């Protein structure tokens, strides 16, 4: 997934697309236009992920492949095995199987959990290839209400 996302960012680096960021923080919503050089910073949660296909991480995950004939897709799901620890709890890569998509990745979904001494951060990362990415973040601290943040970056 990481190499696919880096490839998407290389395309965006040289594109003429218009970029828009939508943010939701509690009850506040905000939409702004972005410069091209701001995209990588916003995509940092994707870029900071470990590669679960390397030799060290690969053994920690169970992989399941499922073909959906009605949708014409292949879903490749990697889930952290019981007793294992890692930043990525689940990763789903959806691949188009229809003749017009020629096996192209359509989307990537990643469940991530980051624990620190005073908080837990859960992230739901989603990348729709050639269209947009979203980052949903839930921050939990002891004796405090959860804080939820949502960011979507889209391009045309």
Question: Rounded to whole angstroms, how far apart are CA atoms 137 and 28?
Answer: 15
Q: Which pair of tokens denotes residue 27?
A: 């009850």
What is the distance of C-alpha 126 from the center of its chain?
4
b/e 70-99 (16+ beta carbons within 10 angstroms → b): eeebbbbbbbbeeeeeebbbebbbbbbbee
pLDDT in tens, 23-72: 998 789 999 999 998 999 999 999 999 889 888 888 999 999 999 989 88
Q: What is the pLDDT of residue 115?
A: 87
Taking the complete model, does pTM exceed 0.85, yes or no?
A: yes
Quote the percentage of the chain above a pLDDT of 70: 98
Chain segment 92-104, per-residue pLDDT in tens: 999 998 766 678 9
Given a cut of 90, whether residue 75 has pLDDT beyond it is yes
């Amino acid at each position: 997934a990481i190499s696919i996302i880096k490839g998407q960012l290389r395309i965006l680096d040289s594109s003429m697309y218009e970029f828009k960021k939508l943010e939701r923080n509690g009850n506040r919503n905000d939409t702004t236009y972005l410069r091209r050089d701001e995209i990588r910073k916003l995509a940092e949660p994707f870029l900071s992920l470990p590669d679960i296909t390397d030799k060290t991480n690969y053994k920690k995950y169970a992989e399941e492949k499922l073909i959906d004939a009605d949708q014409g897709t292949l879903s490749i799901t990697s889930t952290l095995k019981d007793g294992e620890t890692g930043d990525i709890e689940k990763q789903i890569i959806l691949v188009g199987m229809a003749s017009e998509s020629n096996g192209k990745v359509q989307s990537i979904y990643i469940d991530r959990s980051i624990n620190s001494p005073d908080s837990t951060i859960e992230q739901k990362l989603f990348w729709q290839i050639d269209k947009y990415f979203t980052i949903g973040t839930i921050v939990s601290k002891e004796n405090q209400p959860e804080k939820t943040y949502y960011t979507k970056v889209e391009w045309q």
